[in-house]
Amino acid sequence: MGSDSTHPGWRRGFWSLMATQFQNAFSDNALKNLVILLVMARQVPGPERNANVALAGAMFAAPFILFSMFGGWLADRFSKQRVMSTVKQAEIAIMLFAALALSLHSLPLELSAVFMMGCHSAIFGPSKYGILPEVLPHDRLSWGNGILELLTFLGIILGTVAGAFFAEALAGVPGVAGLILAGLAVLGWLCSRQVTPVPPAAPGRPLPLNPAAELWKQLAVMRQDRDLWRANWGNVGFFFVAALVQMNLLLHAKDVLGLAETKSGLLSAALALGIGLGSVVAGFASRGRIEYRLVPLGALGLALSTIPMGMAGVGVVGFSFALAALGFSAGFFIVPIAAVLQHRPSAESKGAVQGAANLLSFVGILAASGVQWVATEQWHLGTGQVFWVCGACAMLTGAYAAISRGRFIRAE
């Protein structure tokens, strides 16, 4: 791809993609957080409550491990725009099922709906990330990733806030929340139809019948490119830390800060504002290239911002500022890593590589569910101390992802 002048129609397709992704992230997390809060509201012992919270997170993460490679194959085999549009149609049916599950107050059915949304997003992800270099001029890739990460994490956090609002405002009729999310799925489908149509990258690619072998194959491809290899594991570490922060935040807000569900959502809003600002600043700071010096800066900021979060006596205001700083640092960390994952693979393998990266990132998210349970139930760490674990992991991840890398990677 060339300059802006060679892509006169890229803006409409790009912003349609951004709208689709925002709705996707919002609805995913609204449903997941609503189910988690309904679990927490049930009168069960503390250990059982914590185990059910971890289970809900695991039910969302597991499909990414099972189906991300299939999503990567679809992204290469067919038009990525067509894959996204078809998946958004499926989301409408899933959310209607969620409405039924919520109306019946059935935990198994609610967890099944969360699992199905995980399947939906596992298939959606490789096309979403893989299409970005195809609809954007190369010198806009880092900028585009800044906008994508802004809207993704804004959708995640606002979805989390919406889940808290639904849990409190619709406590007696939670099925209404499912109907609202079904309506949003219709809007997401309409937006996906406006994404720039692109031809299949590898129309003759056979379906990988052995996902483990396909994952190993893509890891071998990544291993040949130092930047791609380190960015992949940096991506895994980032999503591990992000998931652990998000799960731990729910427990910390209720057990330590004593906040109701809606007010704990305001903490998430502070995190969203930080992520949004950090992602946009990182995108503009890259100046048409992939600025790798932002990765260690982001890792350091992540680690430092968790220090006050774990200290005794920190009030809601101080904790909110620390969360905003953590979000800002997260934007610096993930924007260049995401750009490398999109830019470095060949055109024919972008979907497959994104599928592998997606799968591994949710291995990190699934691991976060386990670490949350082990840290609180086996190691008997307080939720504040778990934030320190997050900071230490961020430092290690940032050091590994950025080691031996020069100043920047040219997006050409």
The DSSP letter of residue 405 is -
Find the helix or strand (DSSP H, E) in which 23 lies.
Answer: helix 10-41
Which residue, among 381, 394, 167, 171, has the nearest Cα to 256 in the 3D structure? 381
**Dihedral angle sign, alpha carbons of residues 362, 368, 370, 371:** positive
Contact 164, 33 (CB under 8 A): yes
Q: HSE of 365 in the Cβ direction (CA atoms, 13 Å)?
A: 25
Task: Give the C-alpha separation, 30 to 181, whole Å.
Answer: 8
Which residue, among 363, 365, 383, has the nearest Cα to 375 in the 3D structure? 383
**Is residue 224 exposed (0-12), middle (13-18) or buried (19+ Cβ within 10 Å)?**
exposed
End-to-end CA distance of the chain: 8
pLDDT of residue 3: 38
**Is residue 312 exposed (0-12), middle (13-18) or buried (19+ Cβ within 10 Å)?**
exposed
Single-letter residue type at 179: L
Task: Give the C-alpha separation, 138 to 328, whole Å.
Answer: 25
The DSSP letter of residue 181 is H
Task: Give the C-alpha separation, 91 to 128, whole Å.
Answer: 15
pLDDT by residue, tens only, the chain of 412 residues? 333 333 456 788 889 999 999 999 999 889 988 888 887 776 666 666 667 777 777 787 788 888 888 888 898 898 999 999 999 999 999 999 999 999 998 888 988 998 999 899 889 988 888 888 888 877 777 788 778 878 887 888 788 788 888 988 888 898 999 999 999 999 999 999 999 888 888 888 788 777 788 888 888 888 888 888 888 888 888 888 888 887 788 778 877 877 776 666 678 778 878 888 888 888 777 766 777 778 888 888 888 988 988 788 788 888 888 889 998 998 888 888 888 887 777 777 777 788 888 788 878 887 887 887 787 777 878 878 888 888 888 888 877 776 655 444 444 4
Q: Please identify which residue in the block is written with the tokens 């409405």.
A: 99
Instruction: Tell me if the pTM is above 0.85.
Output: no
The DSSP letter of residue 139 is G
Contact 236, 374 (CB under 8 A): no
Give SS3 for 113: helix
User: Three-class SS string for 160-173?
Assistant: HHHHHHHHHHCCCC
Find the helix or strand (DSSP H, E) in which 61 lies.
Answer: helix 46-77
Phi, psi of 257 (to 5 degrees): -85, -15
Which residue, among 253, 322, 336, has the nearest Cα to 292 in the 3D structure? 336
Contact 293, 366 (CB under 8 A): no
Structure tokens at 381: 């760490």
Give SS3 for 290: strand
DSSP string, 183-248: HHHHHHHHHHTTSPP---S-TTPPP-S-HHHHHHHHHHHHHTSHHHHHHHHHHHHHHHHHHHHHHH
Q: HSE of 381 in the Cβ direction (CA atoms, 13 Å)?
A: 19
The CB density around residue 109, as the number of other CB atoms within 10 Å, is 16
Alpha helices in 312-382 (DSSP H): 316-343, 350-373
Q: HSE of 35 in the Cβ direction (CA atoms, 13 Å)?
A: 32
In angstroms, how far apart are the furthest CA atoms of the chain? 62
Phi, psi of 408 (to 5 degrees): -160, 170
Q: Quick one: angle between helices 211-223 and 46-77, nearest 10?
A: 70
